[in-house]
Amino acid sequence: MKMIADPIKIHDKLYCLGSPFLPVYLLDGPEPVLFDAGMSFMSEHYQAEIEKVLGRRSPKYLFLSHMHFDHCGAVGYLKGIYPGLTICSAAIGAETIKKPSALNLINQLSDFPGLNENQKFKPFTVDRILEDGEAFILDGGKRIEIIATPGHTRDMLSFYLPDDKTLIPSEAAGVPAEDNHVYTEFLVDCYSYFQSLEMLSTYSFDTILFAHNYIYTGTDADSFFQTALDHGYHFRDRLSELLDQYGFDTDKIGAIIKSEEYDIIQGAKQPEKAYLINLQAKIKAVNRWRNTEMVKN
C-alpha cells in the first residue's frame, strides 16, 4: 500500500509529522526519537505535532540523515525548545554543518518572504556521531541500526528499525512520485548510490518511510527497490546519452531534463532553485562516472 506522508500514526509508536513533502518521523517510547527535521519554515508546525504525540514529554534524540536544507532546517529551533535534545549525524555531516559555505547555502534555500524569527534557519552543532553498522539501543530495548548509504551525499545515513521491520532510507532510496516513478538522487557519486540501493534492498522490511511524499507498505514496499534501480539506471543512461550529444554543456542538458521531469509536475514540487542545483550535481556525477569507466576500459 502507498500512503501520502501526512500526520498519521504509522504503527505502534511510530508517527509521521509535518506535511507530505516535508515529513518528520517520530518513534515514541521512554526515549523518543525524531528522524530528520524538514525545513525551517515548518519549525513551529513540527513542534505542535510533536506535542500532540508526546504532550509535556520531550524528544530525546534527533537522527539526521544528511545536512541538506530540507532535512536539517528545524534542528536549531527544536534544540532551543528542547535543550536536552541530542542531535546525531554522521561524522562528515557534523563537519559539513560547521562550514560557512554550507550554512550560507542552507540560509539561501530556506529564506522566503514573510518568515517570522522562529521560521528562519538557526545554526546548530552535532552532539553525537553515528557510526556505520552501529546498533543504537534505546531505553526500553528498541534498536535502531545505522547504515551508511552514500551517493546522494557523502554523509548520508539510513536507519532500520528491526522490531518494526521499518526502513527509513531518506533520499538514499530516491524520491517516489506518482505513476510509480522514482526520482533518482545521486548528487555526489552515482556508483555509490546504486551500491546503497542494492544494500538497502537486502533488509527485511514491511514499511519504508521516504524522505518526501510517501510511505510504502506490503507489496509496494517489496517491489520498490527494483523499481528504484530500474529508474535510476535509465536516468543515468539518459544523462550519459545527453553528454554524448552535447558534451559538457550542463545548462543545455539541464534544460532538457528539467522539461522532461520537472516542468510537467502539476502541484507541489521541490523549489526550482534547489532542483536546479541538484540537477547540475547529478550531471556532474554521471560525467565523473563516465570518466572513471573510460579509465577502466
Please report, for the domain that includes residue 31, its CATH number. 3.60.15.10
Question: According to the model, what pLDDT value does residue 179 have?
Answer: 79
Does residue 29 sit within a domain?
yes
227 and 263 housed in the same domain: no
Does residue 14 sit within a domain?
yes
Question: According to the model, what pLDDT value does residue 11 have?
Answer: 86
Does residue 47 sit within a domain?
yes
Does residue 121 sit within a domain?
yes
- The C-alpha atoms of residue 199 and residue 201 are separated, in whole angstroms, by 5
Q: Domain boundary residue among 232, 258, 275? A: 232
- The C-alpha atoms of residue 218 and residue 133 are separated, in whole angstroms, by 26
55 and 156 housed in the same domain: yes
224 and 239 housed in the same domain: no
Name the β-bridge partners of 104: none
Question: According to the model, what pLDDT value does residue 12 have?
Answer: 83
Q: What is the DSSP letter of 44?
A: H
- The C-alpha atoms of residue 175 and residue 139 are separated, in whole angstroms, by 32
Nearest partner of 182 among 120, 229, 247, 215, judged by Cα: 229
- The C-alpha atoms of residue 221 and residue 167 are separated, in whole angstroms, by 10
121 and 151 housed in the same domain: yes
Question: According to the model, what pLDDT value does residue 295 have?
Answer: 65
50 and 139 housed in the same domain: yes
Question: According to the model, what pLDDT value does residue 4 have?
Answer: 67
Does residue 272 sit within a domain?
yes
Question: According to the model, what pLDDT value does residue 290 have?
Answer: 95
- The C-alpha atoms of residue 224 and residue 232 are separated, in whole angstroms, by 12
Residue 35's domain spans which residues? 2-232
Q: Domain boundary residue among 187, 217, 232? A: 232
281 residue type, one letter: A
pTM comes to: 0.95
Instruction: Report the domain count for the chain.
Output: 2
Does residue 217 sit within a domain?
yes
Place of cell 522490511: 205
Q: Domain boundary residue among 232, 251, 283? A: 232
Task: Kindly tell me the burial class for residue 295, based on how many C-beta atoms sit within 10 Å of its own C-beta (0-12, 13-18, 19 or more).
Answer: exposed
**Strand runs labelled E in the chain:** 2-4, 8-11, 14-18, 23-27, 33-35, 61-63, 86-89, 128-129, 135-137, 143-148, 157-161, 166-168, 175-176, 182-183, 207-209, 214-217
Per-residue pLDDT of the chain in tens (297 residues, 90 and over written 9)? 766 666 689 988 999 999 888 999 999 999 999 999 999 999 999 999 999 999 999 999 999 999 999 999 999 999 999 999 999 999 999 999 999 999 999 999 999 999 999 999 999 999 999 999 999 999 999 999 999 999 999 999 999 999 999 999 999 999 998 878 899 999 999 999 999 999 999 999 999 999 998 999 999 999 999 999 999 999 999 999 999 999 999 999 999 999 999 998 887 778 899 899 999 999 999 999 999 877 665
272 and 130 housed in the same domain: no
174 and 202 housed in the same domain: yes
Other C-beta atoms lying within 10 Å of the C-beta of residue 83: 7
Does residue 259 sit within a domain?
yes
Which residues have C-beta within 8 Å of that of residue 277, sequence separation ≥ 6? 109
176 and 287 housed in the same domain: no
17 and 126 housed in the same domain: yes
Place of cell 500514526: 9
96 and 198 housed in the same domain: yes
Which residues have C-beta within 8 Å of that of residue 101, sequence separation ≥ 6? none
- The C-alpha atoms of residue 11 and residue 178 are separated, in whole angstroms, by 24
Does residue 161 sit within a domain?
yes
126 residue type, one letter: V
Name the β-bridge partners of 147: 158
Question: According to the model, what pLDDT value does residue 265 have?
Answer: 82
87: which 3 cell numbers?
Answer: 542531535
Nearest partner of 69 among 24, 109, 126, judged by Cα: 109
* Angle in degrees, 0-180, between the axes of helices 218-246 and 250-261, rounded to the nearest 10: 150
228 and 246 housed in the same domain: no
210 and 240 housed in the same domain: no
